[in-house]
């Protein structure tokens, strides 16, 4: 039984602990606090007003009693005319106690009518105030006697009537405050009861009225718990007719959730990209290594003796080693670009001209061109003798090495995917806003299904994959597009199978005077 009671008490205690922490609980506690403060202030003002009016009434009574007894006082105290035990002119319940000039009690006169306490006790008590002093002050005051009875008293001197004004003694006109205090006590009781009733009713009303506006908040927290459990696609429902603050909260939270989901998706994608990149890079690195190992094994098993095998092994290992070097360089370039982008430093402005770069590129391209024609704006530059005049002074916001790499990668691809008698063109164009360079070939073209992927890292078209060993690893266009993007440009491709491909790079036009040329390194 006792344990049941303890359990029950604990339950109730826990319930109130939780309730106190709830929003409604918090609001109600604050409401109670305000109500109680309000009732205390209003109550004390009312109490003071009532007390003042009651006590002022008593003071008036004392003064009027004094006036009615004033003329008889001298006779009674000075001439020893015996006073009546009860004096009709006194207010019911009041009394006048007489004292000699040296504060010795003499006699007491009561009123007629209803008396609530035994007044005779008053005169028997020793007074704890100075009669002379109080008579001098000539003001009613409140006095609590040793039996805890409260009185309002007025002390008046009894003086001779022969103009010599000798003090014969003192008269204390008094009225017990029994009735006034009772009225005050009852009014406090009623006031407190009423206040409690108002508090109780308003608690129920406010708790009921708050239920509806706070419901969206409860729903929001329920949804937030689900979201925290991993349902990042969930959004807080929209409530019509809810308060402005809750609407704002819901909007802000939904916005935050969208941002969070986007950030999580980006992170997940970045992780996926990274692991795919590592897998692709490992795969690309493994192929030449495996090939080199295979030839080394052949040579170890006696292939060194056979000159033909030895030559072919050397040839292939050389090609594979070059491929490895190219691959490593491409990876390093991509890594450098990523680091530059992540450094957070403001992008630097570079500038270089085609005139600086093309003459350096031609010696690299010429051996690969075969019978293909390489044109720059209608000039056949691989056969042109006045090369300087043929190359336009096209300025681009790139480092010379970067422009060289972009052109080399594009032209290298164009050469690879164009028949031996094909034509490859560099077409330039400048207007106020854009500077463009296009590399156009009339080669095999890119299948439409490959087009969206050609700028991805390690992407190689089917035909490219089946080409001879030592060809690109699918990083050439990825590097080109990263470089163009980082320097604020755009790259587009236009291609049709059997007709050819055009890679168009465009940058905002650089005003050549405003930028210093970046020297070739």
Q: How far apart are CA 26 and CA 175, in angstroms?
A: 50
- Of positions 97, 403, 411, 477, contacts ligand ADP by CB under 6 A: 477
Q: How far apart are CA 330 and CA 483, in angstroms?
A: 12
Q: CB nearer to ligand ADP: give 320 or 441.
A: 441
For residue 131, state whether it binds ligand ADP (rule: CB under 6 A): no
For residue 441, state whether it binds ligand ADP (rule: CB under 6 A): yes
- Of positions 501, 506, 507, 518, contacts ligand ADP by CB under 6 A: 501
Rg (CA), the chain: 55
Structure tokens at 78: 């000075």
For residue 415, state whether it binds ligand ADP (rule: CB under 6 A): no
Helix (H, G, I), strand (E, B) or coil at 30: helix
For residue 425, state whether it binds ligand ADP (rule: CB under 6 A): no
Q: How far apart are CA 158 and CA 81, in angstroms?
A: 14
* Shortest separation between residue 488's beta carbon and ligand ADP, angstroms: 21
For residue 405, state whether it binds ligand ADP (rule: CB under 6 A): no
Q: How far apart are CA 423 and CA 441, in angstroms?
A: 6
Q: How far apart are CA 137 and CA 151, in angstroms?
A: 17
* Shortest separation between residue 492's beta carbon and ligand ADP, angstroms: 13
Q: CB nearer to ligand ADP: give 324 or 477.
A: 477
Q: CB nearer to ligand ADP: give 495 or 518.
A: 495
Q: CB nearer to ligand ADP: give 99 or 503.
A: 503
Q: CB nearer to ligand ADP: give 90 or 439.
A: 439
Cβ burial of 509 (10 Å; 0-12, 13-18, 19+) is middle
Q: Which residue is nearest to ligand ADP (CB)?
A: 472
- Of positions 397, 417, 491, 507, contacts ligand ADP by CB under 6 A: 417
Q: CB nearer to ligand ADP: give 464 or 518.
A: 464
Ramachandran quadrant class, 93 (left: phi over 0; alpha: psi -120 to 50; beta: rest): left
Q: Which of residues 448-467 bind ligand ADP (CB under 6 A)?
A: 450, 454, 459-461, 464
Q: Which segments within 101-230 are labelled E, that is strand?
A: 105-111, 141-144, 150-159, 167-176
Structure tokens at 99: 């004292």
Which of 40-48, 303-311, 363-371, 445-453 is the region at the interface with ligand ADP (rule: CB under 6 A)?
Answer: 445-453
User: Could you please report the per-residue DSSP string of 263-316?
Assistant: HHHHHHHHHHHHHHHHHHHHHHHHHHHHHHHHHHHHHHTTGGG-HHHHHHHHHH
Enumerate binding residues for ligand ADP (CB under 6 A).
Answer: 409, 413-414, 417, 441, 443-446, 450, 454, 459-461, 464, 472-478, 501
């Amino acid at each position: 039984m006792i344990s049941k009671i303890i359990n029950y008490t604990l339950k109730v205690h826990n319930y109130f602990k939780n309730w106190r922490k709830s929003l409604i609980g918090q609001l109600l506690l604050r409401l109670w606090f305000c109500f109680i403060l309000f009732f205390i202030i209003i109550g004390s003002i009312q109490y003071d007003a009532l007390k003042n009016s009651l006590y002022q009434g008593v003071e008036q009574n004392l003064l009027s009693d004094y006036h009615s007894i004033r003329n008889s006082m001298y006779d009674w105290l000075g001439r020893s005319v015996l006073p009546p035990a009860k004096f009709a002119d006194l207010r019911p319940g009041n009394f006048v106690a007489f004292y000699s000039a040296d504060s010795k009690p003499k006699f007491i006169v009561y009123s007629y009518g209803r008396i609530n306490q035994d007044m005779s006790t008053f005169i028997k008590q020793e007074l704890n105030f100075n009669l002379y002093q109080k008579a001098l002050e000539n003001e009613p005051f409140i006095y609590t006697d040793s039996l805890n009875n409260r009185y309002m008293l007025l002390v008046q001197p009894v003086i001779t009537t022969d103009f010599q004004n000798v003090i014969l003694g003192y008269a204390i006109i008094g009225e017990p405050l029994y009735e006034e205090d009772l009225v005050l006590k009852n009014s406090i009781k009623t006031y407190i009861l009423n206040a409690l009733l108002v508090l109780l009713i308003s608690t129920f009303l406010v708790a009921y009225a708050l239920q509806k506006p706070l419901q969206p908040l409860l729903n929001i927290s329920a949804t937030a718990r689900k979201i925290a459990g991993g349902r990042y696609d969930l959004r807080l429902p929209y409530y019509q007719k809810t308060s402005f603050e809750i609407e704002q909260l819901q909007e802000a939270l939904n916005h935050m959730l969208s941002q969070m989901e986007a950030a999580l998706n980006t992170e997940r994608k970045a992780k996926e990209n990274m692991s795919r990149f590592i897998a692709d890079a490992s795969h690309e690195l493994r192929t030449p290594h495996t090939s080199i190992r295979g030839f080394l094994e052949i040579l170890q098993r006696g292939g060194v003796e056979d000159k033909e095998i030895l030559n072919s092994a050397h040839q292939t290992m050389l090609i594979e080693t070059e491929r490895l070097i190219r691959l490593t360089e491409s990876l390093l370039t991509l890594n450098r670009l990523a680091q530059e982008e992540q450094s957070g430093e403001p992008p630097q402005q570079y500038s270089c001209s085609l005139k600086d770069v093309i003459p350096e590129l031609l010696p690299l391209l010429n051996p690969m061109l075969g019978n293909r024609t390489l044109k720059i704006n209608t000039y056949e530059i691989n056969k042109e003798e006045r090369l300087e005049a043929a190359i336009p002074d096209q300025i681009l916001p790139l480092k010379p090495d970067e422009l060289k790499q972009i052109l080399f990668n594009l032209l290298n691809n164009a050469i690879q995917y164009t028949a031996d008698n094909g034509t490859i063109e560099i077409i330039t164009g400048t207007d106020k806003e854009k500077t463009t360079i296009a590399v156009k070939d009339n080669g095999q073209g890119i299948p439409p299904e490959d087009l969206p992927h050609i700028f991805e890292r390690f992407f190689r078209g089917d035909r490219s994959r089946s080409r001879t060993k030592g060809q690109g690893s699918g990083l050439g266009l990825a590097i080109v597009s990263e470089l163009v993007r980082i320097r604020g440009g755009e790259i587009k491709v236009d291609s049709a199978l059997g007709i050819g491909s055009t890679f168009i790079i465009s940058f905002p036009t650089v005003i050549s005077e405003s930028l210093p040329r970046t020297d070739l390194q």
